[in-house]
Amino acid sequence: MYYLQDLEKCIVEILDVIADTEHHLLNISCELLVRDCLDIIQQGEKLSKFQDHVEQLVSFFLSLDQLVVHKGKTWPLERLARPLVAQSLPAIMFVDTPSLVKLLSVLVEIFGPIPLFLKNYQNYHGKSDVKSYLELFNADLLPWCFNGKYSTCNSKIDLLLSLFQDECFFDQWCSIIKYTRAEQKHSIDDKTSNIKNRLELLTLLLQKVRERIAGGKLRNLQKNGYLPEHWRHDLLDATATSVLCDLTAANHHVSFLCAALGGSDQEDQICFLSAETVHKVLGSIVKDLASALLASTFEWARLAYSLLLPSEPVHLKLPEENSLPINFEMALFAFKVLQGSFFSLGRLEEDSVFPSILASLFVIEWECSMSLAIDDESDLEGHIKGMDVGSSMSRSSKDYLDEKMHLKGNLAESIHAFCQSLSPSFWNNLPSFTLNRLANILAQSVRYSVFQTRDLHVEKTAALCSEWVAQMLKLICLDDINLQSFFDLLLSEGEYWPLLLKPCLQNGHASVKVQLEPAITDDIELKHERFVAFVDRLILNLGFGEVILGVPGNLRCATSQSIDITSPMSSLSRAWVAGEILCTWTWKGGSALETFLPSLVQYMKEESCLEVSIVSLLLDTLLGGSLTHESGPWVLFNAWHLSDNEIGKIQDRFLRALVALLFTTNTKNCLWRESDALVFFEQLLSNLFKGSTVNTKCLKVLPFVMSTIIKPLPEKLNEDSPYGDLVRKSILSWLEAAISCLSSSPREVPVQDIEDWMQVALSCFPLSITGGAQRLVVTVEREISDAEISLMLTLFQKYQFFYNGAASSLSTSETVIPRTVELLGVKLTAVMVGYCWTKLQENDWHFVFRMVFKCIESSALLVEEMTDGINDAVINQVSSEDALEKLKLMVSTTDKLTLSLAESSLVTLCHLKHLGNLQEVETAKSLQLIRSGDYAESINKMVECILRLFLASGVSEAIAKSFGEEASSVIGSSRHAYLHFWELVASFINNASPEIRRSALESMELWGLTKGSVSGLYSILFSPQPIFHLQFAAFSLLLSEPFCQLSLLKDSSLGENCSSAQRSDISQSTELMPDSEKTLCLRDELSALVEFPTSELLKTDLTERDRVDVFIAWALLLSHLQSLPSSSIIREHVLQYIQEKDPCME
């Protein structure tokens, strides 16, 4: 290698020396050298080591350039280079190898193209030489550079770049583009393959120009061509435009456009197209991307198309099948162009199309994710049925969807990866116009998707759309102001949302306006529910503070000062959104109590340093809404056992929301500050009177509110508390008002006033019922003053006068006491026993026991009458369908008020039983009265009524079961409407004495129904609609005397309804039977479960009903076994039976 280099240098130096002294010898030497070079070139690759020889020639000319040409001498050009090129150019073009192209490029770079190629060139002759060179360039050099082998394309493009000259740059560039366009048009017309090569070569040329401009390596261009704008040309713009319109666009089209546009990364600032053409490219990209949405079966996606292209007409119909691949191929083509030139396209800040392009990326990915969410069979079938695919479809709908999803999935996957690759700085540096327009389109698109999606379940749609928003916001990093502007737009008013509350400004502050009687159709209600579900999920994903309060996350973390989010300076508070969700109450996938209010509470706990004034605004709004509607009677509201289920029974949506908010923030979590409570209570009182007239609507709302704010009151009250003092004074005034309404003569009583004021008074004396059915305890929730006790005693006495007066006049039909007033009396009785029992006199106790017994007995008779009706339906049945309808009718027409009376009476009875067990000396007189014979006997009778009620309900279900599982479920599910009532019933069942149980059983036996008590207990135990309190009570009774004697074995000769004497002989008879006749016959209810096939049971879930029932059945059987005497023959048979069976308890 070094030898050859030294030899080259020596030859060059010798030639240079003889050039100065021996011209003749120089001519001979150069001619010989040219001849040898020409020989190498003409032989081409046939020559051994051809590539090495050409490389030696290149090296020789480079040495010649360094040692001679740089000194300004011209003989290398005149004697060697020009003659060599003149004689060898045809051969070089014919052989067409990369090494020869490189040799030619080196010669051009050393000597320049015009001196090298023009044979008659001696000195520069201006325009004539340029013209001659340009003719050679257009006729020979350009076609050859663009028509050679693919292996030489790269090196010939380098040569082509070196052939550019300042003097004719624009003409040369125009010729190249014209040549390319001519070939492009020709190949499109003739469908040849040459277009690929030509467009690829132009692409390669632009790429190399970009590299050389960026690197400053265009040494042959000093005046023209060294700046990007020099390369811009109308023909290049036209070429780009024609490529965009080519429906057969392929990857090489993408590469060309990307090469012309530039912008593959943020550093690439070179674009060879005019701003107008770039704008056209942007328009074509957004149109092609949006075309994928036209192929969607989702209406919202087609509506989003109109957002991306507002000036484009859109026909919201599914395109023909054959157009679908084209749609997605066009979209994929547009995306590839965008991906390769993204940062160039985004530089036109005034362009309104770029935001639509960005938005289309999100929307296409969202549409695909929703399509993929329709993955279960039922959804897919519905989706196929809902598509209007036209009569031209020849393939099945499933194949149609498979192809579509494949195309769509590829596009969405590419888009997702690209969006994730964009740095936060890109989004942060976007112009405000672009960012705002992008947020606007995306917000509207999400709204469309929530409102218009029908193919996906509500909860799935809500989860999906909220996830879109969360991921999008995480990606684009909006600042606090833009973020809240986005939420304002996303949650803004529309046709379907909101329906009940609307935002407004009042005295310069954010406020909420109640919508009076909005017109709500089924379609509007459905779409409204969808949006509420979406907002709820959005809050769960992003947080209550950001979505509802409008408090930026960084601001919450950065300061501990109070933030007044209702100030006019901060229009971010969306209290109306919170109110709308609360009033909506339930939706698929969530509810105000289960999801929304926990989010509010969590925020209040975590951000205790902030002034969460939204709660005060919400309370005022909901109170105002409640006062515009009629609310139901509080007396039917179970305020003593306040629960989510009980609050849900309130019919008025504003009152229900108000009670739920108070219950959650004040009763359950105690997050209220005393100052907030005082302001709200004063607001409440200010609405109670209109001048001197009582506001009846507020009067009806008042007890609901007091029930929720009175319980935590003792923690807030003290001697100097303004709030506590105001509440105490108010309670006393309300008691006086209730007393003034009662009169000894019922005819003089304004009944509505009695109801309203007694409800208010009673709501201030809450009771707490805790412990469940096994250990039920009734306690008082307040410590009341002597003044309150005195007024309560007066109220109780007044009510007794009123009640007794009404009862005595019943025989003359002059007055019938309203049942709601009667229920108020029962609740008053329970309150008196809870708060004032030490002050009650004997006549008061007589009234208490009389009221309680009457209500409990009435409920027992009610259930027994229903059992009779069900039994008659069985006996007189025409068909199972008719009997089932009768069952549903009987259940639906149950007297709810009777059960409500009994429920309150059971609370009183529970407290009475507790008092009977006290051992307090200071209250000995009252306790002696309660324990006296008459009262003790009355308590036992009431417990027996409760047991009869329980057994009758079970027998009802047992009889109904003969019609099938559905009929049994009708009876079982009816109990779920009165869960607390049945919990109270179960608490007495577990503690009933053997005598009471025996008496109740005998009463049932005398009844003569088609099913007996034990069958009823089994129906409760294995009900298809189980209530665990009742199940436990039934389980206990089946193992207790006297039920245990009939709950294990069935006696075919005597039957279930045998007498006590017959039943007592069963065991003895079994002992005396011969062994051959001793066959163990478990009751059918028990054996069916104990013998349940293990293989089938193992297929069930651990908590599935069948497995649970089998477990309970085995527990009952084993408990029976344990209770039998060890020497009992029955015990031996039961033990043998168990050993023979395969236990199924896992």
Give CA separation, 684 vs 228, 271, 678, 709, 712, in Å: 74, 69, 10, 12, 18
Vertex 18 angle, CA 55 and 81, to 5° = 35
Asked whether 694 and 738 are in contact (CB, 8 A), the reply is no
Q: Is it the case that residue 1032 has pLDDT exceeding 90? A: yes
Nearest 10 degrees: CA dihedral of 438, 443, 445, 450? 160
pLDDT of residue 919: 60
> Cβ atoms within 10 A of the Cβ of 1053, count?
8
CA distance 671 to 601: 8
State the pLDDT confidence band at 399, using cuts at 50, 70 and 90: low
Asked whether 1054 and 1104 are in contact (CB, 8 A), the reply is no
Mean pLDDT score, 943-969: 92
Gyration radius from the chain CA atoms? 47
Structure tokens at 1075: 């062994």
Q: Is it the case that residue 561 has pLDDT exceeding 60? A: no
pTM summary value = 0.81
CA distance 1044 to 1034: 11
CA distance 801 to 754: 14
Q: Is it the case that residue 968 has pLDDT exceeding 70? A: yes
Hey, what amino acid is at 750?
A: P
Asked whether 926 and 840 are in contact (CB, 8 A), the reply is yes
Mean pLDDT score, 604-630: 79
What would the pLDDT profile of 876-932 be if each residue is shown by its tens digit? 876 778 878 888 888 888 889 999 999 999 999 999 888 877 666 556 677 777 777
State the pLDDT confidence band at 1126, using cuts at 50, 70 and 90: confident
Residue 231's H or E segment, with its range, is none
DSSP 628-659: TSPPPPGGGS-GGG--HHHHTT--SHHHHHHH
Structure tokens at 483: 């973020």
CA distance 587 to 529: 6
pLDDT of residue 1132: 85
> Cβ atoms within 10 A of the Cβ of 801, count?
14
Nearest 10 degrees: CA dihedral of 76, 77, 79, 80? 80
Strand-pairing partners, residue 689, are: 694
CA distance 179 to 138: 9
CA distance 132 to 385: 72
Asked whether 1107 and 1100 are in contact (CB, 8 A), the reply is yes
CA distance 1058 to 899: 32
1031 or 1096, greater pLDDT: 1031
Q: Is 342 helix (H, G, I), strand (E, B) or coil?
A: helix
> Cβ atoms within 10 A of the Cβ of 1060, count?
12
State the pLDDT confidence band at 744, using cuts at 50, 70 and 90: low
CA distance 575 to 563: 15
Residue 220's H or E segment, with its range, is none
Hey, what amino acid is at 935?
A: Y
pLDDT of residue 35: 92
Q: Which residues contact 45 (CB under 8 A, 6 or more apart)?
A: 95, 97
CA distance 107 to 996: 122
Cis peptide before 319 (omega within 30 of 0): no
The label of the residue with tokens 């596009």 reads 411
CA distance 252 to 180: 14
Q: Is it the case that residue 1078 has pLDDT exceeding 70? A: no
